[in-house]
Amino acid sequence: MSQESEKYRVSAHSLNIREAPNTASAILGRLVKSDVIEKLAESEDGQWIRINVNGVDGWSSRKFMSKVPYIPGPDEDFSWMAVAEQEIGVGETPGHESNPRVVEYLHATTNLSELNMSNDAVSWCSAFVNWCLKQTGYERTKNALARSWLDWGEKIDTPRRGCIVIFSRDEGLWACCILSGRNRNRDQGARRKSTKPRNEQLRSLHQIVSKIQAAWVSHSKVK
């Protein structure tokens, strides 16, 4: 399996390469906006990245860079898939009580009231995706609205296992899920083994009956 190398894109118009990870050290060179560099190491405080550009070995401020999304190869999974698949079988609790696990998903968002974050009857598809990405250290929308994912990640032409899919339902509402790539029989088997409503935030392609509006892949990992 390939190792995930960390690459960053310069967001400032000009960024110094310094001899040491501080603003008082000598300037060895400069990067310009949109330059892409590979991280060799980082400072103890995580604020500086060691790089080597055209033979110049030095440090640049992470503050003025954004991480280039890593897209795993065809034989690899997105890192959040292992987390997501462990949640198959989670669903709302019948009656007036809320499932603590769903409440945990809802707390991965920041645009819900405290009352709604404690209510598993609130639509939680986006909250589930946010929670999975939070567990694996990725930037996320922190938004309970499924449409928030339209502005996240990079668009791909063909949906693949692990991608985040945003789609519309017949009633005009939006939903999102993580594409599982599982086949119909395995999905049905998972449903039968569960004694509560199945976590439908993991879906196989045959389950998405509406037209797929967009499919997105990994975004910047954060510390």
- The pLDDT score that the predictor gives to residue 75 is 84
Split at pLDDT 50, 70, 90, the class of 4 is low
Domain count, the chain: 2
Question: Domain for residue 72, yes or no?
Answer: no
Is the pLDDT higher at 185 or at 31?
31
Split at pLDDT 50, 70, 90, the class of 121 is very high
- The pLDDT score that the predictor gives to residue 2 is 44
| Nearest one of 161, 137, 141 to 153, comparing CA atoms | 141
Q: Please say if the pLDDT value at position 189 is more than 60.
A: no
Beta-strand relationship, 41-42 and 27-32: unpaired
Judge if 169 and 141 occupy the same domain.
yes
Judge if 57 and 140 occupy the same domain.
no
Percent of the chain with pLDDT over 90: 42
Split at pLDDT 50, 70, 90, the class of 30 is very high
Regarding pTM above 0.85, the answer is: no
User: For residue 172, is it left (φ>0), alpha (ψ between -120 and 50) or beta?
Assistant: left
| Nearest one of 93, 140, 145, 101 to 123, comparing CA atoms | 145
Judge if 88 and 174 occupy the same domain.
yes
Whole-angstrom distance, CA of residue 98 vs CA of residue 162:
28
Classify burial at 213, counting beta carbons within 10 Å of its beta carbon; exposed 0-12, middle 13-18, buried 19 or more.
middle
Judge if 205 and 138 occupy the same domain.
yes
Judge if 52 and 115 occupy the same domain.
no
Give me the domain span that covers residue 63.
Answer: 7-67
For 119, the token pair is 């209510």
DSSP state of 142: -
Least confident of 12-26, 28-42, 135-149, 204-218: 204-218
Residue 105 has phi, psi (to 5 degrees) of -60, -50
| Nearest one of 215, 201, 163, 219 to 85, comparing CA atoms | 201
